[in-house]
Structure 1
Amino acid sequence: MRILILGAGRIGTAVAHMMADAGDHRITLADRHFGHEASQLAPSIAQITADAGDPADLDRIMRDHDAVLAAGPYHLCPVIAEAAVRNSLHYFDLTEDVRSTRAVSVLAEGARTALVPQCGLAPGVVCVMAHGLAHGFDQVEAIRIRVGALPAHPTGPLGYAMTWSTAGVVNEYCNPCEAIWNGERREVLPLEGEETVILHGTTYEAFNTSGGLGMLADAFDGRIRTLDYKTLRYPGHRAIMKLLLEDLKLRDRRDLLEQVLEASVPTTDQDVVVLSVSVDGMVHGRLTRKSWTREVGARDVAGMHMSAIRLTTAAGVAAVIDMLAAGQLPQQGLVRHDHIDADTLLANRFGQHYA
């Protein structure tokens, strides 16, 4: 498959590296500017300068490609998806932004190609796993998803490091969160719903953040009592963020909050991604729970060192693109998480990074 990747950041370059190394996809990477990550890529990956926010530029670079991955800012996803439909390309993105996904879903109606939003980590792989676990139940009562992208060696009271987009973190901490509670679909406040979670011997705090459910709320609306997504952090993190966002009112100054976090919170490639998906429901008349948990650390992939969040996000979307190329997904219209078989995804050569 001839794949155009828009965005030469950490995720875009990781997907390009993984898929080019597999040897049976032709990869083109496009961005306005290319940094250090792009300089490490193999010569077989074409690099072209383009503006993903310019429809005319998108039409120019989409020629001679079969699929496009939007790996840049979430607000560009609808623009890129519209160009993909116009130029008959399959479309993939990584966004957790609810409005962007709704716009992509509308564009998918009647499209001659497949539009696959939210196919990274969360939303993405964890949503696929939730559907996979739910298949074995006569009646699903509750789905709980907990995800943490954390420093492997936490220091300081925040116990945090910037392992991915600062704008994405601020978005998750500030926007309303979708949930289903007592059978009713509703919006809940970010940073609320605090609970203690113990996974693999480590204690975390969990609280509401936005975007991680993807399209699960649509899929299970009217069919389930409880559905929620919460972020995992080391204890004490939430109280500090609540002080910044609410007491100091930085929720209303997101640009300033981004500047503060980027100036004071270090980045790291020594991270860990902690995943937990659990489903409760009835099986043959008995209340039953099925769970899927993973702890993925940073590692080298085909000669390139990747942080855990970079690896898990890139592996998720690479596996979905690979599955579509192999005819294992619908070839037109909106492709939802329930269209993606969990076992097939994990068995995929890219999905195996979750093993």
Structure 2
Amino acid sequence: MKIALIGAGLIGQSIARMLRETGDYEVVVFDRDAHALSLLEAQDIPTRRVNSADANALRLALQGFDALINAMPYYLAVTVATAAKAAGVHYFDLTEDVRATHAIRAIAEESTHAFMPQCGLAPGFIGIVANELAQRFTELREVKMRVGALPEFPTNALKYNLTWSIDGLINEYCQPCEAIRDGSTQWVQPLEGLEHFSLDGTEYEAFNTSGGLGTLCETLAGKVESLDYKSVRYPGHRELMKFLLDDLRMSSDRDGLKAMLRRAVPATAQDVVLVFVTATGMRDGRLVQDVFTRKIFAKKVCGVSMSAIQITTAGAVCAELDLFRDGVLPESGFIRQEQVPLQAFLDNRFGRLYEGAREIAGVREIVEA
């Protein structure tokens, strides 16, 4: 299967290495950054310099490929998906942006090829887990989805390091968030809904961020009383971000905020990804709760040191590409993350990166502010 991978950043590099290692995929990486491409060329991964913001140039470059994986920032998702449809290739991406996903769904209508956005960690794997737990109940009351990509050793006031796309981070802190309350789909504000909890003896906070639910609000509409997604951080992070975004009005100057964070907040490869999903409802006449928890740490994959967010994000999209190739997923049209069977994902060679993670031993009750 011949794959065009657009985006030679850290996640794109990880995807390319994972797919190449199998020997089952022929991968060519597209980007306009010559330096980023040179890092892959040094590992004998074929590259091609292409302007990813030019839909026509992408369409021409995609001739002869079977599928495209988009590892570019969210604001290029619609452009790249449009080029994929014009070129007649299957499309997979990692976007967390709600509006981009709606646009891609429209692009996928009546297409003979598959369009599957949101193939990362959150949205992505977290939705697969939540949907699997939701199906275990005869009456579903509540689903809580919590994900954190955190530094293992926080040292600054934000208690945070840059571990993934800064554009995506800012976007999820600024955009409205979907949720279900009292059985009705609602929009809630980012950075609100603050709660505190403890896992494995470590204190965390969580708050609303955009995009993590994917299409789950629609899938579970009329089936659940309460559904929400929140990002997990160390205590105090949310208050400082609200100060920057609201009091200093940086939410209206995203470029300035991005420059500030890049200048002041270092990146780290020593991170941990926390996955925490609970579902509560009736089963066999009893009120019960099911919990899925994981902690994934940075480690070597394919002989290369990778951060936890690289492992979980790249691993997820590679697993879903595998499942698509094997006929587990639909061959055409718009594909939701919750159409992926959880056990098939975890049994996959890439999905086992999640299954091999450490389960969390102790969960102390969530307390909302």
TM range (shorter): over 0.9
Aligned residue for 1:225, secondary structure, equals strand
Partner of 1:305: 305
C-alpha distance in 1 between matches for 2:327 and 2:316 = 17
**Is 1:201 the counterpart of 2:201 in the alignment?**
yes
Partner of 1:255: 255
Deviation, 1:40, is 4.8
C-alpha distance in 2 between matches for 1:41 and 1:334 = 33
The normalised TM-score by structure 1 is 0.97
Deviations 1:28-81 (A, max 9, x none): 100001435751566552100101221221122111110001110212111221
C-alpha distance in 2 between matches for 1:292 and 1:15 = 25
C-alpha distance in 2 between matches for 1:76 and 1:290 = 37
Q: 90-99 or 138-147: which moved more? A: 138-147
The normalised TM-score by structure 2 is 0.94
Note closer, same or farther for the CA distance 1:70–1:253 as it changes in structure 2 (3 Å cut). Answer: same
Given that residues 11 and 314 in structure 1 are in contact (C-alpha distance below 8 angstroms), is that contact kept between their aligned partners in structure 2? yes
Amino acid at match of 1:48: R
Deviations 1:252-308 (A, max 9, x none): 211111111111111100000011011111111211111111100101111111111
1:159-198 maps to which residues of 2 (within 5 A)? 159-198=159-198
Partner of 1:318: 318
**Is 1:107 the counterpart of 2:107 in the alignment?**
yes
C-alpha distance in 1 between matches for 2:130 and 2:89 = 28
Given that residues 269 and 298 in structure 2 are in contact (C-alpha distance below 8 angstroms), is that contact kept between their aligned partners in structure 1? yes
Deviations 1:153-187 (A, max 9, x none): 01122111001111111111111111111111111
Query: What residue ranges of structure 2 are gaps of 5+ in the alignment?
Result: 356-369
Query: What residue ranges of structure 1 are gaps of 5+ in the alignment?
Result: none
Partner of 2:90: 90
Deviations 1:317-342 (A, max 9, x none): 00000110111110001111221101
Partner of 1:21: 21
**Is 1:53 the counterpart of 2:53 in the alignment?**
yes
Segments of 4+ in structure 1 off by > 2 A? 34-38, 40-45
Identical counterparts, % of pairs: 45
Deviation, 1:233, is 0.6
Amino acid at match of 1:9: G
Partner of 2:363: none
CA RMSD in angstroms, aligned pairs only: 1.3
C-alpha distance in 1 between matches for 2:156 and 2:86 = 49
Given that residues 40 and 47 in structure 2 are in contact (C-alpha distance below 8 angstroms), is that contact kept between their aligned partners in structure 1? no
C-alpha distance in 2 between matches for 1:84 and 1:40 = 23
Given that residues 31 and 37 in structure 2 are in contact (C-alpha distance below 8 angstroms), is that contact kept between their aligned partners in structure 1? no
Count of equivalent residues: 355
C-alpha distance in 1 between matches for 2:350 and 2:106 = 29
Given that residues 123 and 214 in structure 1 are in contact (C-alpha distance below 8 angstroms), is that contact kept between their aligned partners in structure 2? yes
Deviation, 1:219, is 0.8
Aligned residue for 2:47, secondary structure, equals strand
C-alpha distance in 1 between matches for 2:343 and 2:38 = 32
Given that residues 163 and 309 in structure 2 are in contact (C-alpha distance below 8 angstroms), is that contact kept between their aligned partners in structure 1? yes
Partner of 2:80: 80
Partner of 1:2: 2
C-alpha distance in 1 between matches for 2:99 and 2:187 = 14
C-alpha distance in 1 between matches for 2:255 and 2:82 = 28
Given that residues 8 and 34 in structure 1 are in contact (C-alpha distance below 8 angstroms), is that contact kept between their aligned partners in structure 2? no
Aligned residue for 1:190, secondary structure, equals coil
C-alpha distance in 2 between matches for 1:271 and 1:36 = 22
C-alpha distance in 1 between matches for 2:29 and 2:283 = 47
Note closer, same or farther for the CA distance 1:6–1:216 as it changes in structure 2 (3 Å cut). Answer: same
1:151-300 maps to which residues of 2 (within 5 A)? 151-300=151-300
